[in-house]
Amino acid sequence: MAGGGCFGGVLTKKVNITNRLIERLTPRAERFDIFDGTIRGFHLRVHPNGSMTYRLKYVADGRQRAMTIGEHGAPWTADAARTQAEVLRGIVKAGGDPLARAEALKAERMEQRRRAITVAQLIERWLADGPEAAPNKRAVSWEHDASRLRRHIVPLLGNILAGDLRRADIEKAQRQIRDGETATREKSAKKRGLAVVRGGPSIARGAIVSLSSCYGWAVAQELVDANPVTNVQKLAAVKRERFLSDKETAKLLDTLTAMQDERSLSKEHADVIRLLLLTGARKAEISELAWSEVDLVHGVIKLPPARSKTGEKAIPLNAPAAAILAERSAQNDRLAKKGRSPVVFPAPTNSKMPATGLQKAWQRVRTRAKLGNTRLHDLRHSYASFAVAGGASLALIGKVLGHTQVSTTQRYAHFGADPGKELAERVGKRILGTREQKNDSIVKLRQKDEAS
């Protein structure tokens, strides 16, 4: 207590704090203070757990202050703490505030440590803590950021202090990534997996965009003073819009059937590719589709905000797309004894997880179908092109594909009555019709040959 203390359980007057006195102290249920009889304000605080702390009370600028000298034990013995208390009293007597001075020094050291963080360390901190500041950003987007930054930015800029990064450094890095200087092959997280890291304009632009997001967060967290990426002129976005013709679409569908029949392509991968073409959905929206997102009664796929790039989304199902899902649902029911799979396209070794290897499967398919470097995402563009050819408005196509921002309160419970359903049906018939047109042409050609 102030002005006195407890020694052996007896209330005492002020005493000189010595090691001998401390050895005889007994803790109480509540903490208490023993004030020194020689140095004003110098006291020992005894905690219920038996620990003891040397402190100094003083007045500076009209305010009572209390400063901790240290915990009893090496290096703070009673004599060492007494010596430090005398030094602090001298500062107070000279008009200073030792606690304020200590706090300022601590803040300066913290600032120095903060400024000493490298670009690589800043990136890892953003990837770890950034999601809390961006709760609506999808996990896949964070994965893309991590890949771009770790594989391209860190090798080039990682050792530079985050606060020292300059515009010229970033412009040079963008050029190096564009020219393929960060391209490499590395082990992936998959067993016996090998990741091929490529450069190029698109990768370079994406890496700089991710770095800008990282620094934007760092500025908000007061880790750096400014975002050095702000005035960097980013490479123009490379637009690759490949559309399949009727003939190519027919060839693709025939190839999927042939490869599936000869078992060089799994039914899961074949059906994913068919649905991407028939719905215009994004790759992950179909490949990672869960049964909880499928509504066959209303003919629609309902994706939560975390599963769609544009937030909550409804994908209308045309008849052929619904038939694929209905068949898979029936197959899932037949396997219910082994445990119904929660995902539509399960992995062969783990029915609770989506099948992997879609990209490699697609590369085999497009090679056999002679589609060149057509990407899976180009099937989405092809869906849109068929829709336009069918006379659909751009606004309606945008709605079906999810190009417009969807309100979180908007629902598509009765999408069957929506004109988007009619659009989906028209596109589905048009896509499957490419095969019929091909077969009709073959029949007519044969008839012509026989007649001649």
Q: What is the pLDDT of residues 251-310, one digit of tens each?
A: 999 999 999 999 999 999 999 999 999 998 889 999 999 999 999 999 999 988 888 877
114 located within any domain: no
For 364-420, write each residue's pLDDT tens digit: 999 999 999 899 988 988 887 777 666 665 655 566 666 543 332 232 222 334 556
Cβ-based neighbour number of residue 430 at 10 Å: 17
19 located within any domain: yes
Q: What is the CATH number of the domain that holds 378?
A: 1.10.443.10
154 located within any domain: yes
Residues 442, 320 share a domain:
yes
Residues 272, 200 share a domain:
no
For 238-265, write each residue's pLDDT tens digit: 666 678 888 999 999 999 999 999 999 9
pLDDT at 328 over 80: yes
231 located within any domain: no
155 cis-preceded (ω within 30 degrees of 0):
no
The average confidence (pLDDT) of the chain is 83
Helices (H) and strands (E) in the chain, counts: 16, 11
Query: How confident is residue 331, by pLDDT bands cut at 50, 70 and 90?
Result: confident
Q: What is the CATH number of the domain that holds 44?
A: 3.30.160.390
Residues 51, 81 share a domain:
yes
pLDDT at 445 over 50: no
Residues 179, 60 share a domain:
no
For 68-125, write each residue's pLDDT tens digit: 999 999 899 999 999 999 999 999 999 999 999 998 988 887 777 667 899 999 999 9
347 located within any domain: yes
Q: Phi and psi at residue 34, in whole multiples of 5°? A: -115, 120
CA distances from 265 to 140, 192, 344 (A): 26, 21, 17
For 125-147, write each residue's pLDDT tens digit: 999 999 999 888 888 889 999 99
> Which structural domain, as residue segments, surrounds residue 44?
5-108
Residues 188, 96 share a domain:
no
Residues 185, 260 share a domain:
no
CA dihedral 419, 420, 422, 424 (to 10 degrees): 170
239 located within any domain: no
Residues 58, 184 share a domain:
no
Tokens of 165: 């990064």
Choose one of 220, 236, 261: the last residue of a domain.
220
Residues 402, 379 share a domain:
yes
Residues 125, 102 share a domain:
no
Report the number of distinct structural domains present in the chain: 3
Residues 125, 12 share a domain:
no
Choose one of 79, 108, 137: the last residue of a domain.
108
Helix (H, G, I), strand (E, B) or coil at 97: coil
Choose one of 220, 238, 266: the last residue of a domain.
220
Residues 270, 372 share a domain:
yes
Kindly write down the DSSP assignment for every residue of 325-361, as one continuous string: HHHHHHHHHHTGGG---SBSSB-SS-TTSB---HHHH
Do 139 and 306 meet the contact criterion of CB atoms below 8 Å apart?
A: yes
What span, in angstroms and rounded, lies between the C-alpha atoms of 87 and 42? Answer: 11
